[in-house]
Amino acid sequence: MPMRTPYFVVDETALRHNLEILKDVSERAGCKILLAQKAFSMFSVYPIIRQYLAGTTASGLYEARLGHEHFGGETHVFSPAYRPDEFEELLSYADDFVFNSPAQVRRFGPLAKAAGKSIGLRLNPECSTQEGHAIYDPCSPGSRLGTTLANFDEDILPMLDGLHFHTLCEQGADALEVTVQAFEEKFGKYLHGMKWLNLGGGHHITRNGYDIDLLVRIVTHLRETYNVEVYLEPGEAVVLNAGFLVSSVLDVMHNDMDIAILDASAACHMPDVLEMPYRPPILNSGEANEKEHTYRLGGPTCLAGDVIGDYSFDQPLHIGDQVVFGDMALYTMVKTNTFNGMGLPSIVWRDASGKETLIKSFGYEDFKTRLS
CA distance 256 to 307: 15
Residues of each annotated binding site for substrate: 236, 272
- Rg (the chain; Cα; Å): 22
Predicted confidence (pLDDT) per residue in 265-281, tens digit: 999 999 999 998 889 99
CA distance 149 to 212: 30
CA distance 260 to 309: 10
Tell how many helices (H) and how many strands (E) occur in the chain. Answer: 11, 16
Residue 79: Cβ-neighbour burial (10 angstroms; 0-12, 13-18, 19+):
buried
pLDDT of 30 > 80? The answer is: yes
pLDDT of 204 > 80? The answer is: yes
Which residue in 106, 98, 97 sits closest to 123, CA to CA?
Answer: 98
Which residue in 231, 220, 212, 223 sits closest to 172, CA to CA?
Answer: 212
pLDDT of 138 > 90? The answer is: yes
Q: Are 207 and 237 in contact (CB under 8 A)?
A: yes
Measured on CA atoms in the order 164, 230, 172, 309, is the torsion positive or negative? Answer: negative
pLDDT at 173: 98
Backbone angles phi and psi of 132, in degrees to 5: 85, 0
Kindly state the DSSP code that residue 45 receives in the 8-state scheme.
G
What CATH fold (topology level) applies to the domain 12-238? TIM Barrel (3.20.20)
Cis peptide before 102 (omega within 30 of 0): no
Residues of each annotated binding site: 236, 272
Predicted confidence (pLDDT) per residue in 220-254, tens digit: 999 999 999 999 999 999 999 999 999 999 999 99
pLDDT at 276: 86
Q: Are 121 and 164 in contact (CB under 8 A)?
A: yes
Q: Are 298 and 306 in contact (CB under 8 A)?
A: yes
pLDDT of 126 > 70? The answer is: yes
Confidence of residue 137 (pLDDT cuts 50, 70, 90): very high
Percent of the chain at pLDDT > 70 equals 100
CATH architecture of the domain with residue range 243-328+336-369: Beta Barrel (2.40)
pLDDT of 1 > 70? The answer is: no
Which residue in 168, 239, 241, 166 sits closest to 202, CA to CA?
Answer: 168
| Domain segments of the chain as ranges | 12-238, 243-328+336-369
Predicted confidence (pLDDT) per residue in 280-290, tens digit: 999 999 999 99
Q: Are 285 and 261 in contact (CB under 8 A)?
A: no
Which residue in 247, 246, 272 sits closest to 356, CA to CA?
Answer: 246
